[in-house]
Structure 1
Amino acid sequence: MSLAPRVVLVHRTTEYEELVARHGTHGQAAFFLSSRGRDIRELAERHRRTRRALAEVASAVPLTWRQTRVERADLDRFLFAPEDVVVVVGQDGLVANVAKYLSGQPVLGVDADPDRNPGVLVRHRPREAAALLPAVPDPGTGVEELTMVEAVADDTQRLVALNEIYLGAPGHQTARYRLCLDGDRGVVEAQASSGVLVGTGTGATGWLRSVWQDRGRALRLPGPAEDRLLWFVREAWPSPATGTSLVAGELPATGTLSLTIESERLVAFGDGMETDAVDLTWGQTIRVGVCRERLRLVG
């Protein structure tokens, strides 16, 4: 007998909860904000909307199914099972945060605050969950398979992201490396920059788009399901030892962008998850390209 599906409700701590945790009580948090000309009531109301959405989705889970919850900060320690149905209750970025930990499980994005979220990845309202959830495990349920980006280091460390991967210094220092396009057979250039950004079509709605608007309009933005990535070097610095000729481009499905580290420490992280980064040091090489896996997002 097969196991009943398990719904994993993914959420994140609200700004209100973070403030109260920092200051101890609602009153102290309110005083802190009021001393800076802000009112805590707006944050408290957003907190209530988020909690209501989470409760409504939880109550919509079929009674014969199992369910559990995981907070964003605990994703790297949570073990997803093959039969899981992942329901993200929050904002678009939370779908990206969970994507790297999945291996084909369907994801249903529920918008907890439609007035603030674009709804690119959290496409559904809490009230729709009761009708949507029973059909999600059905192979015939419509899902969109979104392209992801991966980075693999020469010591087997691996990083996957839905929006983008950033490679650079952990602080504001200059990142030094040798950039090679299309692996060992390509052109190599020593660079000093603020880092390298490699993004997908889904990422083209966020950080990647802001860089593209500033520098790369000659390149066509990829679609969310297209096996093509864009990459940009941020603020490359020309010098007698470093160049700026390879600063932007696209990677097809078989393309590879490689960085060989020439700094004491660089990091690679995806979708803003800096706490779950790949650490790199002198002489290491990391290769970035289209990931074979996809995020299966319920439409």
Structure 2
Amino acid sequence: MALAPRVVVVHRATELEELVDRHGTRGQAEFFLRSRGRSIAEAQARHDALGEALAAVSASVPADWRRGSVERQDLHRFAFEAEDVCVVVGQDGLVANVAKYLRDQAVIGVDPEPGRNVGALVRHRVRAVPALLEAVVRGGARVEPRALVRAELDDGSAVEALNDVYVGHASHQSARWELHVPDGRVEAQSSSGLLVTTGTGSTGWAASVARERGGLVLPGTGSSDLAWFVREAWPSPTTGTDLTAGVLPPDAALRVVVRSDALVAFGDGLEADRLTATWGQAVDLTVSRRRLRLVV
């Protein structure tokens, strides 16, 4: 007998919950905000909006379906099943956070605060969830594949990300490496970090970097190309600044050979989930074989 579909709802703690957790009580959190010219009312309103959205999504799941729920900080230890339908309720970045833990599960992004989020990944309102769930289970949902970027060490360990991967010093100070680009050129560099972005990430951190640089067209959201930027490359007798940006096609790799004590590589701002590469190790940046399946 086939198992009933399972819907996994992904969310993150609200600012209000984090404030109360940090300060111990709601009253102390309110005092903290007031001392900085803020009111707790805004945090409460956003907390309520998310709570109402989560309740409505839960009510949208058919009674005979299975259910799961996971908070952002617990994603790394949650066991997704192959046939899960993942419903992300929150900001666009939460979809990016969950993408690295999925393997072909469909993702429905739900915006609990329309008008506050960009809505690039959380495209749907709560009222659309019942029909979307049915469409996914029937196989009739329109799904948009999104590329992920992969950073892999020469020991086989790897991280993947939907938006971008950062490679550099853990504190973002200057670090040294050799950059190997696909056409065979090599340059020793000193930089505050290397950023490799997907088409999805072209609307995020990379957008501000590209705007400052000018001249480089970022990949579209459906593209399998990657774009890369070397941040604040330092010119010196032993380090260059010629290879600082480019586009990486799907069949190519960008290689970083570490010439510092250690560099880190992490994706989508999740610094706790990172690789550490020591002197002489190589980090290869490529497009992942996996794709996020975003329900549009």
TM-score bracket, normalised by the shorter chain, equals over 0.9
1:223 maps to what in 2? Answer: 220
Distance 2:83 2:184 in 1: 42
Give the structure 1 partner of residue 192 of structure 2.
Answer: 194
Q: Deviations over 1:213-262 (max 9, x none)?
A: 001x3222211111111100000001111111100000001111000111
CA–CA separation in structure 2 for the residues paired with 1:108 and 1:197: 27
Q: Secondary structure at the match of 2:261?
A: coil
Q: How does 1:55-204 map to 2 (within 5 A)?
A: 55-182=55-182, 186-204=184-202
Q: Percent identity?
A: 58
- Aligned twin of 1:238: 235
**Residue 262, structure 1, aligned to residue 259, structure 2:** yes
Give unmatched runs, 5+ long, in structure 2.
Answer: none
1:267 Cα offset (Å): 0.6
Q: Matched residues in 2 for 1:41 and 1:26: separation?
A: 12
Superposition TM-score, scaled by structure 2 size: 0.98
TM-score (norm. length: structure 1): 0.97
Q: Which amino acid aligns with 2:16?
A: Y
When structure 1 is superposed on structure 2, of 185-194 and 63-72 the one drifting more is 185-194
CA distance in 2, matches of 1:246, 1:240: 16
SS in 2 for 1:172: coil
Amino acid paired to 1:97: N
Matches of 1:99 and 1:275, distance apart in 2: 16
Mapped partners of 2:4, 2:240: distance in 1 = 57
Cα displacement (A) at 1:81: 0.9
Q: Give secondary structure in 1 for the equivalent of 2:138.
A: coil
Question: 1:174 deviation in Å?
Answer: 1.0
Q: Distance in 2 between matches of 1:13 and 1:283?
A: 40
| Counterpart check, 1:205 vs 2:209 | no
**1 CA distance for matches of 2:201 and 2:83?**
27
Q: Which amino acid aligns with 2:247?
A: E
- Deviation of the 1:115 alpha carbon: 2.5
Q: Partner of 1:49: helix, strand, or coil?
A: helix
1:19 and 1:242 map into 2 onto residues whose CA distance is: 45
Q: Distance in 2 between matches of 1:115 and 1:140?
A: 28
Equivalent residue letter for 1:296: R
Gapped regions of structure 1 (runs ≥ 5): none
Corresponding letter in the other structure for 1:5: P
State the shift of 1:64 in Å: 1.5
How far apart in 1 are the matches of 2:228 and 2:278?
A: 22
RMSD over equivalenced CA pairs, Å = 1.0
Q: Distance in 2 between matches of 1:150 and 1:130?
A: 34
Q: How many Å apart are 1:132 and its aligned residue?
A: 1.4
Q: CA deviation at 1:140?
A: 2.9
